[in-house]
Structure 1
Amino acid sequence: MMRPVPVCRYIAGVLLIAALAGCNSQAGVAEPPRVARVARVEPATAQAVSVYPGEVHARYESALGFRVAGKISSRRVDVGTHVDKDQVLAELDPRDLELATASARASLASAQAALQLARSEYERYKTLFERRFVSQFDLEAKTNALEAAKAHVAEARAALDTARNQTGYAELRADADGVITAVSGEVGQVVGAGQAIVTLAHDGASEVEIDVPEQAVAQLTAGDAARVEFWTDSGKLHDGKVREIAPGADPTTRTYQVRVSISDADAKPRLGQTARVYFASGARDDQFLVPLSALYEKAGEPAIWQVDTQSGKVHLAPVTVEQYAETGALISRGLVADAWIVTAGVHRLREGETINPIDSLNRRVTF
């Protein structure tokens, strides 16, 4: 006689069979290939590995100031004024200087009068000595007095020349043709000798001033070729070369100031204009520049996911990084030209995994 099966056991069995059937159906559905961004490897020599923003400056810039102290009585230029050589830029109150000149002139007149007296005394004592009315000692004393009077006249004349020169220094003149780029003195201001009043950018050659980080400045030397692109004329490159590299780093930014002269005579940038400076890579043909996002670390060593163009699978390849830069990593071993590598999402991949490759614009890549 058959015993009836409890209803609860029957229901549990049905649910177990349904669950097993669902697992089998899910296992039979293959996961789609993972989307990964890829790029073709190119030699670093074909890439501009260093790009620096900069600003256009004049080749020569002068901070001009008065050669004497005084109170500014007039300023004849403003920022942006174009001036000619020897043009008056500003003036000091000349009254004190004119008084000094008058005093020096009076001192010279007094010295000349003393000289005339000393000469008369000498001539008189010379006659008396010849008649043996005075001694040799008395004549020598008058001779020395005459020479001293001559020296005093020369000293007074030099002092007068100095006073006249200082009176002329009350006018600040341009030392070259150019444009005023800064003004730091105003009428009524009392300034010291040598204090900068205006900055003059000389007409002529222009340069681009850039700041290079300390880890990259060692790659540059004076005379290195460069390409300059101005912001207002984007896409057009002008020839240039490194003219000057600062010997010390800026204490705040820890960057080195580099001046790049513009060789192209057709380039006529405006002062203060923004520019970009490109330096060609110094890498060899067997070195490659890859994005920093392409690097993967395995057992503490750098590696890169390379794509098998036949199967679409990725394989991890160890590489040697020659140098790290802001624009990427320079690989000296482990890659070959025209190889395809994964440049984004490298930490989600597995060895031998098939990927769905896309480029930087999210377009499907066909090998």
Structure 2
Amino acid sequence: MRHLLLLAPLALAGCKAESAPQPEAERPRPVQVAEVHLAPATEAHAFTGVVRARHEADIAFRAGGRITARLVEVGQKVVAGQPLARIEEADLSLAMRAAEADLSAAEAQARQAAAEASRSKALRAAGHVSIAYDDQRIAAARSAAERAAATRAALDLARRRLDYALLRAPGNGVVTALLAEAGQVVAEGQPVFRLANPEERELVVQVPEAAVARLAAASAAAQFWAHPGLSLPARLRELAPQAETALRTYTARFALPEAPDWIALGMTGTVLTEAPGETLATLPLSALHDRGEGPMVWRVAEGRIAAVPVEVVSLGEVTAALRGALAEGDRVVALGPQLLDPTSRVRIAGLRAAATLR
């Protein structure tokens, strides 16, 4: 009897062990998942700049001197050949007269040398002079003729320089800058005006380093502060091969093939670009989790979960664009990822739309 009493508690304990419920940790947890859909992202940028002429040049005198008259104003339209400014002609006139005198002297010497060579030829034929003497006279005549040709060219150059005293417009355009004033002494080639041709206008902007790579493949449109609701097509025509030293940005020039007449030089405009980017996954913000090693998501496969590190490219109101080792159709935990760990077993309780809160 005593032995039966000792065995009774053991039997009751065994019955309780057999009827104990399964531990909560071993049960698969119901989770909502979202399917991964990959799509190329669009990189959009906006660059603000000013309208410039495609053809713009600094105009300078081709001779040095003191400016005696300025004949145009900034903003004035000019045509090819129109006088712009004039420098003092006195020094240039004296140089031309000196060249004329040099030419007269050289021609006289050439005539004298030619006459001596002719007489030497006759004397040589009669046997009165040697061959060497005759050769010297011929060489002197040729040298005098070449000196006369050189002074003739110098006279032509002096006449041209006198004509350069009047600065003329090389083509049609608008005077955009005044770089020298009447009374100022300028050197040959020193800029006096800046002339722009407004027929071809461009929007010049500064592009940061991060946006340079895909700029050539991007579609572009231009908007102007003068007409905020109007968008005009733009095309990248030129991109600087080297960054500016001060700003560390690249100068880009966007052509405006359909620019209306109201777009004036110096206006402020914005270039809007859109370029196809890399393929990214869009998932709900609630799917993101950080266990101290950076952003990650839980990928669900066969009742198990695995951590997939991701990089957040951009954040929206309810979704995030992610870069990581995710494939099309992968299922990730969409709600409560912070409640799970790598040993958790899960079962899919519902499929959540990746880009919504439903």
TM-score using structure 2 length? 0.70
Q: How far apart, in 1, do the equivalents of 2:278 and 2:245 lie?
A: 34
How far apart are residue 140 of structure 1 and its match? 1.1
1:238 pairs with one of 224, 228, 232: 232
> Is the CA contact (8 Å cut-off) linking 1:68 and 1:169 kept in structure 2?
yes
How far apart are residue 323 of structure 1 and its match? 8.4
Q: How far apart, in 1, do the equivalents of 2:160 and 2:82 lie?
A: 17
How far apart are residue 303 of structure 1 and its match? 6.7
Q: How many residues align?
A: 283
Q: Aligned pair in 2 of structure 1 residues 287, 256: CA closer, same or farther (>3 Å)?
A: farther
Q: How far apart, in 1, do the equivalents of 2:172 and 2:183 lie?
A: 27
Q: How far apart, in 2, do the equivalents of 1:216 and 1:117 lie?
A: 76
1:226 pairs with one of 181, 197, 220: 220
1:212 pairs with one of 207, 210, 214: 207
Say whether residues 1:154 and 2:149 are aligned partners.
Answer: yes
The letter of the residue matching 1:228 is: A
Say whether residues 1:273 and 2:267 are aligned partners.
Answer: yes
Q: How far apart, in 2, do the equivalents of 1:243 and 1:289 lie?
A: 38
> Is the CA contact (8 Å cut-off) linking 1:48 and 1:278 kept in structure 2?
no
How far apart are residue 266 of structure 1 and its match? 4.1
Tell me the residue number matched to 1:299: 292
Say whether residues 1:190 and 2:175 are aligned partners.
Answer: no
Kindly indicate which of the two structures has a greater share of residues assigned to strand.
Answer: 2
Q: Aligned pair in 2 of structure 1 residues 119, 182: CA closer, same or farther (>3 Å)?
A: same
> Is the CA contact (8 Å cut-off) linking 2:236 and 2:254 kept in structure 1?
yes
Matches within 5 A, 1:1-367: 45=41, 49-221=44-216, 224-266=218-260, 268-284=262-278, 286=280, 299=292, 301-302=294-295, 319-321=310-312, 331-333=322-324
- Give the % identical residues: 34
Q: Aligned pair in 2 of structure 1 residues 49, 331: CA closer, same or farther (>3 Å)?
A: farther
Q: How far apart, in 1, do the equivalents of 2:291 and 2:245 lie?
A: 38
> Is the CA contact (8 Å cut-off) linking 1:242 and 1:259 kept in structure 2?
yes
Tell me the residue number matched to 2:9: none
Q: Structure 1 regions of 5+ residues with no counterpart? A: 1-41, 305-316, 337-349, 353-364
> Is the CA contact (8 Å cut-off) linking 1:224 and 1:241 kept in structure 2?
no
> Is the CA contact (8 Å cut-off) linking 2:215 and 2:275 kept in structure 1?
no
Q: Aligned pair in 2 of structure 1 residues 95, 288: CA closer, same or farther (>3 Å)?
A: farther
The letter of the residue matching 1:92 is: I
How far apart are residue 249 of structure 1 and its match? 1.2
How far apart are residue 284 of structure 1 and its match? 4.7
**Alignment deviations for residues 88-109 of structure 1 (CA, whole Å, 9 cap, x no partner):** 1111111111111111111001
The letter of the residue matching 2:118 is: E
The letter of the residue matching 1:245 is: L
The letter of the residue matching 2:191 is: A
Q: Aligned pair in 2 of structure 1 residues 54, 71: CA closer, same or farther (>3 Å)?
A: same
Q: CA RMSD in A?
A: 3.4
> What secondary structure sits across from 2:199 in the alignment?
coil
> Is the CA contact (8 Å cut-off) linking 1:207 and 1:259 kept in structure 2?
yes
> What secondary structure sits across from 2:276 in the alignment?
coil
> Is the CA contact (8 Å cut-off) linking 2:48 and 2:269 kept in structure 1?
yes
Q: How far apart, in 1, do the equivalents of 2:178 and 2:159 lie?
A: 27
Q: Aligned pair in 2 of structure 1 residues 127, 189: CA closer, same or farther (>3 Å)?
A: same
How far apart are residue 300 of structure 1 and its match? 5.0
**Alignment deviations for residues 11-52 of structure 1 (CA, whole Å, 9 cap, x no partner):** xxxxxxxxxxxxxxxxxxxxxxxxxxxxxxx9775x661001
How far apart are residue 203 of structure 1 and its match? 3.1
Q: Structure 2 regions of 5+ residues with no counterpart? A: 1-37, 298-307, 329-336, 340-355
Q: Aligned pair in 2 of structure 1 residues 70, 43: CA closer, same or farther (>3 Å)?
A: farther
Q: How far apart, in 2, do the equivalents of 1:79 and 1:302 lie?
A: 59
